Amino acid sequence: MISAIANPRLRRRKLVSAAFRVLCAATAFVVVGILFALIFDLMLDGLPWLDIQFLSSFPSRFPELAGIKSALFGSLWLIGLTALFAVPIGVLAAIYMEEYAPQNRLTRLIELNIANLAGVPSIVYGLLGLALFVRFFALERSILAGALTMSLLVLPVIIIAAWEAIRAVPTSLREAAYGLGATRWQVVQSHVLPMAMPGILTGIILSLSRAIGETAPLIVMGALTYVAFVPEGPMDEFTTLPIQIFNWTANPQEAFQDLAAAGILVLLGILLVTNSIALAIRYWSTK
Amino acid sequence: MSTPLLEAKDLTIAYGDQVAINHLTLPIPEKKITAIIGPSGCGKSTLLRSMNRMNDFIEGVKLEGAINYQGENIYAPHVDPVEVRLRIGMVFQKANPFPKSIFNNVAWGPNISGLSGDIGLRVETALKQAALWDEVQDRLEEQALNLSGGQQQRLCIARTLAMEPEVVLMDEPCSALDPVSTSRIEDLLYEMKKKYTIVIVTHNMQQAARVSDYTAFIEDGELVEYGETEQVFTNPLKKRTEDYVTGRFG
């Protein structure tokens, strides 16, 4: 009779295999558990404050009157402009590096450096933004200066992700297209970009999610912490959700701590919406 | 013999310091099937890919000598490689259909090149020439990747034929296929040579003997023997060729 019990070596292998499975499952549950505990705690503090009044009011000294209208609009402006600058530049740069540039030591050096840039602390980009955009180009503390700074911050991530995605498109597919007398642009447009699109979108989601949560570079370059108006153009001064949240958490009154929790819930909501949109695009683009 | 349609003339190809093809001269006669045989790594794929400038995409390839097509060197500075590939098509070792519908796989090439005429008719003709029409005519909108391996390879042939090239280069087109699919493609080659000039690289000696009119035996990047297939296989001039075609090595 075939029996695992009769074969001690097989029994040990199966035990190890089962133990590994339990370990992996436990790790996954711990991670997800911590996330849910955090969100639950936030909801406990923040949900009572989360209403139309909160979303449509400007910040105030009085917690019951305070809201995040200006921060919400500031964040949307900032992320919109950042996407507008960083996405096309990043994707085009990646296409150039993989499809057009000669693959030699210089390209490898550039890739290494871009990867390093992705790891530079965000506050360094804040200082660069302050010196370059705020002072040198005299954009002052505008949304435009903030978005340009954020673009610099997320560009390396977008370029690397798009580059990897484009590189993963099989050579055989490119050869098939070139073999039919296609030009480089036709190959890129009809085959490389559609196949790389899911990977490129993942990079965009990750980088914009990071940008929407960044605080340090914006504070360094001088974004305001108290704004009682809605920005009307890219040259207006602004604040963003994470700055507003940071500001509230620094306030000793306990009601403001709860307001911060409500603000975080709004921020999470925006992240969820933008990621869902990107996932939907990703789904439809691969159909 | 009249001037060949395509000809490698004193061709040398090197990857960096590694010489893959060494001062090789080989004629490719019009509307015939020329088989290129030889052991692995002898340079036969490199030679084939040089004939429609597919080696351009490999970094560090150096080429000397000429590939003459209708008397004109396709490596001359004024020649556009895109133009070359429109006339000299290629079918690859592993079937590589686009992740599109069957119809769009065949229609893509003519569309991007702006070839005139009814595209539906062109696709149908190409699929018929590739002996695939009967199997797919009811499901042209289906995803090409769902076809079997043999059907995919015939689709790739159809895709190449839809461009109406003059020469079709085939790089071991049957090496990943079962015997039934292989024999279908061999029958197809026989039909194709009425209209096209075919160069086929193959590992399979029986296949070369079965389908080709001329055979070139290459070893270490050099042409060992070239002649009519029957002569090369039954009465080779060189001892090395005899050893190879009788299976003593390789």
Same-domain check for residues A107 and A243: yes
- A2 located within any domain: no
Same-domain check for residues A152 and A82: yes
What is the predicted ipTM? 0.90
8 Å CB contact between A86 and A95: no
- A100 located within any domain: yes
Name the CA radius of gyration of chain A, rounded: 24
Query: Distance of CA A222 to CAs A81, A106, A219, A251, A264, Å?
Result: 18, 37, 5, 20, 22
- A1 located within any domain: no
Same-domain check for residues A97 and A44: no
Amino acid (one-letter) located at A7? N
Same-domain check for residues A36 and A90: no
- A146 located within any domain: yes
Task: Tell me the nearest-neighbour CA distance from B174 into chain A, angstroms.
Answer: 16
Give the pLDDT band of residue A6 (cuts 50, 70, 90): low
Same-domain check for residues A188 and A220: yes
In chain A, pLDDT over 90 holds for what percent of residues?
59
Helices (H), ranges, chain A: 8-46, 52-55, 69-95, 105-117, 122-129, 143-167, 171-179, 184-187, 193-213, 216-221, 241-249, 254-285
Give the pLDDT band of residue A2 (cuts 50, 70, 90): low
Domain count of the fold of chain A: 2
Same-domain check for residues A32 and A73: no
- A279 located within any domain: yes
Query: Distance of CA A191 to CAs A194, B99, B155, B156, Å?
Result: 6, 9, 17, 16
Domain residues for the domain of A239 are 69-286
Rounded mean pLDDT, A125-154 = 93
Same-domain check for residues A120 and A36: no
A38 pLDDT exceeds 90? Answer: yes
Same-domain check for residues A23 and A131: no
Mutation pick from A97, A100, A169, A180 vs chain B, by most beta carbons of B within 10 Å, is: A180
Average pLDDT over all residues of chain A: 90
Give the pLDDT band of residue A3 (cuts 50, 70, 90): low
Give the pLDDT band of residue A1 (cuts 50, 70, 90): low
Closest CA to B217 of B23, B68, B6, B229: B229
Contacts of A180 in chain B (CB under 8 A): 85, 89, 108-109, 112-113, 159-160, 163
Partner A contacted by B115 (CB < 8 A): no
Mutation pick from B57, B83, B106, B108 vs chain A, by most beta carbons of A within 10 Å, is: B108
Same-domain check for residues A77 and A210: yes
Same-domain check for residues A159 and A247: yes
* End-to-end alpha carbon distance in chain A: 50
In chain B, pLDDT over 70 holds for what percent of residues?
99
- A112 located within any domain: yes
Q: Which two tokens stand for residue A256?
A: 């403001």
A13 pLDDT exceeds 80? Answer: yes
- Pick from A104, A170, A178: which is nearest to B57 by CB? A178
Distance CA B57, CA A217 (A): 42
Same-domain check for residues A105 and A30: no
The CATH number given to whatever domain includes residue A126 is 1.10.3720.10
Q: What is the pLDDT of residue A282?
A: 77
- Pick from A104, A170, A182: which is nearest to B112 by CB? A182
Q: Which two tokens stand for residue B5?
A: 């349609």
CA angle (B118, B122, B126) in 5-degree steps: 175
Same-domain check for residues A18 and A113: no
Partner B contacted by A176 (CB < 8 A): yes
8 Å CB contact between A125 and A158: no
- A161 located within any domain: yes
* pLDDT, tens only, B4-36: 899 999 999 999 889 999 999 999 999 999 999
- A63 located within any domain: no
As a residue count, chain B comes to 250
CB interface of B with A, residues 172-231, below 8 Å: none
